[in-house]
Structure 1
Amino acid sequence: MRRAAAFFDLDKTLMAGSSSMQFARVATQQGIIGRRQLASWGIEHLRYRLRGTTDERTGDVLRVARELIRGVPEKTIARMEPEVMAGILPRVFPQMLVEVHAHQDAGRPAFIVSAAGNGIVESLARVLGMDGGIGTGYEVDGAGNFTGRFEGPFVYGPGKVEAMHAFAERHDIDLEASYAYSDSLSDLPMLRAVGNPVAVNPDPPLAAIAREEGWQTMRFERLGRRLVAIGVTLLAAVAGFGASRLAARRRPPTRRFPAARSNRR
């Protein structure tokens, strides 16, 4: 028997701001992203927090990000996840966790659906006690390095719907009876894919559609909180870069372990 579920967008819905900015901060410390690129994304993040984003801007950021991770070992990105998570968790909206728990108590599993990397999305879902995550997969070659190509759909816009439909088929979920939460017009396909869409701190275009359609709307992020969060994000980005330079000066030599010897003769 098919069951209902609840699907939550991540950025500006489940959390304040952008998870990708937290990833960029840690990636800068690791030398994957340069200072100039971080500053550029920081400006884009300000624009995103105050006015939302567009498909064109998202596409530009994505192209740069795919190029930057090409050739980076998968294990390097995996080892960054705890610190990225430490940046995301304080930004999770308590009001949204109440929604998550209400759905779970009613027998509806709750899932994150995000354009962020699948590793981060699934890890965050586990930490928050949710039932799973649907993120963007990136191809890894035989040497264990990222190729810069997707593995499956880019989970953004129509790609979210494609991923949700595939996920629903595998897990016997009835999308018509399900719920979806998002803040942005770019997620209109996701919201229309379910029977119960909910606009969360919506941008003006989505707010207008929600009013016309009679959708439930949740509002709890205020301008003051936005500006504080933006300031904290920028300070964290600058401090993160400074810490990376200091760490580079003080970093101890890499420990090397001898290769395991075979017992075969």
Structure 2
Amino acid sequence: MKRLALFDLDHTLIPTDSDHAWGRFMVEEGMVERARFERENLQFYEDYKAGCLDIDAYLRVALEPLSRYSRAELDRFHARFMAEVIAPQILPVARQLVDEHRKAGDLCCVVTATNAFVTRPIAQAFGIEHLIAVDPATEGDLPEARYTGLVKGMPSFQAGKIVRTEGWLAAMGLGWGDFEKSFFYSDSRNDIPLLEKVSDPVATNPDDTLRAHAERLGWPILELFKAT
């Protein structure tokens, strides 16, 4: 039987929050109004860490700037963001973790609450083909279609990660029972629902709440970035 390996992204495979970093990048590039966006970006980030994020309010603010630019313009911005901000954060220890699963033939997927525009190139940089992320809505189905600033479908956040993962598996004719083992690596208290769903949860660089939860249940704790 196959094995399934699911990975959160921010503070799990990379020692930073890609969505928060993209917000800072947009501020520095003049893509958004500095004072207001910095304030909101920081508050949403703190709410996420505290486990009380209003995902709908957050996504309205996070996705609206994408509607201001063509896809070609956004791709140019993102290429610089990857080179200047994200690439230095992709560390060998995280690549090794992913590569161990890929070489074992495991079905690998990044499951993140950050939107797909920001995260798809990051998942690809790890050699992971499959991505479950917040999907920004577009004005049409063409690859160059502009973003609307709205969300398409259910956000992959908290229990929504289970729903989205099960939908992804079902589209391939698969379910949890088709896997000998299912792994999920995450740092966040927000991911406890999906961690409890898989057979092999791994608290990875965990926040204090997840660490306490993992210790209580005897889950393994992995410190990828302890020395960073």
**TM norm. shorter chain > 0.5:** yes
8 Å Cα contact 1:73-1:145 kept in structure 2: yes
User: Aligned pair 1:161/2:162, yes or no?
Assistant: yes
TM-score by length of 1: 0.72
Provide the residue aligned with 2:102 in structure 1.
104
Tell me the residue number matched to 2:152: 151
For residues 9 and 20 of structure 2, the distance between their equivalents in structure 1, rounded to whole angstroms, comes to 13
User: Who is 2:78 aligned against?
Assistant: 81
Q: Distance in 1 between matches of 2:50 and 2:67?
A: 25
- Farther-moved stretch of structure 1 (160-169 vs 137-146): 137-146
Deviation at 1:192, TM superposition (A): 1.7
Q: Is the 8 A contact 2:182 2:198 kept in 1?
A: yes
Runs of 4+ in 1 over 4 A off after TM superposition: 41-48, 57-60
Which residue among 181, 198, 201 is the counterpart of 1:197?
201
Is the 1:158–1:190 Cα contact (8 Å) retained in structure 2? yes
Q: Which runs of 5+ in 2 are unaligned?
A: none
Aligned partner letter, 2:26? A
Q: SS of 1:5's equivalent?
A: strand
Q: Larger % of strand: which? A: 2
Partner of 1:28: 27
Which structure has the larger Rg over C-alpha atoms? 1
- For residues 23 and 134 of structure 2, the distance between their equivalents in structure 1, rounded to whole angstroms, comes to 16
The alignment of Structure 1 onto Structure 2 pairs a total of residues equal to 221
Residue 123 of structure 1 pairs with residue 121 of structure 2? yes
Q: 1:7·1:179 contact (CA, 8 Å) conserved in 2? A: yes
Residue in structure 1 matched with residue 186 of structure 2 by the alignment: 182
Q: Which amino acid letter does the alignment assign opposite residue 21 of structure 1?
A: H
Indicate how the Cα distance of structure 1 residues 164 and 197 shifts in structure 2: closer, same or farther if over 3 A, else same: same
Task: Pick closer, same or farther for the CA change 1:144–1:84 going to 2, 3 Å.
Answer: same
CA RMSD of aligned residues (A): 2.7
Question: CA shift at 1:9, angstroms?
Answer: 0.5
Partners of 1:65 and 1:90 in 2: how far apart? 23
Q: Compute the displacement of 1:202 (Å).
A: 0.8
Aligned equivalents of 2:52, 2:159: Cα separation in 1: 11
Q: 1:175 touches 1:195 (CA, 8 Å); kept in 2?
A: no
Distance in 2 of aligned mates of 1:158 and 1:174: 17
Aligned counterparts of 1:141 and 1:58: Cα–Cα separation in 2: 22
SS in 2 for 1:137: strand
- What SS class does the counterpart of residue 96 from structure 2 fall into? helix
Offset of residue 46 of structure 1: 8.1
Per-residue CA distance 1:94-123 (angstroms, 9 max, x = gap): 322221111112210322111222233222
Residues 23 and 41 in structure 2, CA contact (< 8 A), matched pair in contact too:
no
Instruction: Verify: 1:52 aligned to 2:49, yes or no.
Output: yes
Paired letter, 1:97: R
Deviation at 1:7, TM superposition (A): 0.8
Give the structure 1 partner of residue 136 of structure 2.
138
Contact 2:115 2:133 in 1 (8 A): yes
Query: What letter matches 1:161 in structure 2?
Result: I
For the residue of structure 2 that corresponds to 1:61, the secondary structure is helix
TM-score, structure 2 as length reference: 0.83
* Alpha-carbon offset, residue 37 of structure 1: 3.6
